[in-house]
Amino acid sequence: MNSTTRLTLALATCFIGGCDVTWSPGSGYDNAVFSETGDNIAMVFQTYEKKDNVKYVKKRNFETQVVLMDASGITETLTELTEGDVNDLFFQEEAGYIILGRRGKTELGITGSTYAKFHYERISMDGTVTPLGVGFGAVMLSCNSGETLTTVSPPERWIPSPDGSMLARIKTGITCWERTMTLTFVDAQTLEPLYAPVPLDDGGQTTLADGTNFWNTLSMAWTEDGSFAIGNWATSDSQDHLMADIYAPGQTEPTEDLMHFTCFSAPTASGYQSTDGTEVSVTNAGVLNINPDSVWDGAFGCGSD
């Protein structure tokens, strides 16, 4: 094989599968969200290692810090860089805090599943960081030695209520044979549990024609009246609704309701869309894009229900 043929084959392989270039340092802004009032914005600045492929840029080894931007465009760096990528970011402006969920490096288990450590923190407007919880568990679960993988709920998640007065803490333990979940309502200021943890239904499994089992997908969101809903995508009577267990704080038994899928587009009032549907995003260079007429229904509440 001559050198011209080798070069042609190398370029073809690079074009089809992506060039395996070395990792290089990268940084940029991401994850812009409105506060629950829609007045100000939180985002993150991240450093990472990147590898350029033909179709996308692969990233790893994230460090993340929280940045605020007010209505006039002035930014304020709120925290130092801390290991991990963003799993959740909520800005409760009137209650005076931000919730940051960070996902650490993924690890490959012996069964083919991937695992990671999750950190959740409450960040005050003066930059004080208060740890909320840490969980280590599956990110992608495999029950057939890595042949197929399914996304699963993280082991630890904290979601603030729409008014910021409470936090919903969802703890999950999952294997191929068992999923255990609890919901605890916590005072957002004192961080004391308001009630005992409530055991949740495991949501069940679906079996495919080839015999493969996977845990049914669950979506979680606060409701506009201050309850917490957990919707099961395997128990829908129509394509745009799903059956949900709804937990009011202080009640151990849920009520059931068939809820429109838009009720779960945003888990609380802080998100990338404000309640009037205006959408925010940020470029890698830190330039905000504000779109008042988004075609996506990602605002808090039940939308077109």
- Gap between the Cα atoms of 284 and 269, Å rounded: 25
User: Where residue 304 falls among pLDDT bands split at 50, 70, 90?
Assistant: low
Cα–Cα nearest to 265, from 226, 302, 293, 228: 302
Average the pLDDT over 172-199 and give the result: 97
- Say what the pLDDT of residue 133 is: 96
Average the pLDDT over 250-262 and give the result: 94
Whether residue 275 has pLDDT greater than 90: no
pLDDT in tens, 235-247: 876 678 999 999 9
- Average model confidence (pLDDT) for the chain? 90
pLDDT in tens, 83-124: 999 999 999 999 999 999 999 999 999 889 999 999 999 999
Q: Which residues pair with 53 in a beta bridge?
A: none
Lowest-confidence pick of 6-20, 207-221, 242-256: 6-20
User: Where residue 8 falls among pLDDT bands split at 50, 70, 90?
Assistant: very low
pLDDT in tens, 13-67: 444 444 556 999 999 999 999 999 999 999 999 999 999 887 888 999 999 999 9
Q: Which residues pair with 228 in a beta bridge?
A: 222, 247
- Say what the pLDDT of residue 53 is: 80
pTM: 0.90
Lowest-confidence pick of 74-88, 126-140, 262-276, 284-298: 284-298
Average the pLDDT over 164-179 and give the result: 96
- Say what the pLDDT of residue 145 is: 81
- Say what the pLDDT of residue 143 is: 87
User: Where residue 4 falls among pLDDT bands split at 50, 70, 90?
Assistant: very low
Q: 54 Cβ partners below 8 Å, 6+ apart?
A: 14, 15, 16, 17, 18, 19
Whether the Cβ atoms of residue 55 and residue 18 lie closer than 8 Å to each other: yes
3-state secondary structure 219-288: EEEECCCCCEEEEECCCCCECCEEEEEEECCCCCCCEEEEEEHHHHCCCCCCECECCCCCEEEECCCCCE
- Say what the pLDDT of residue 210 is: 78
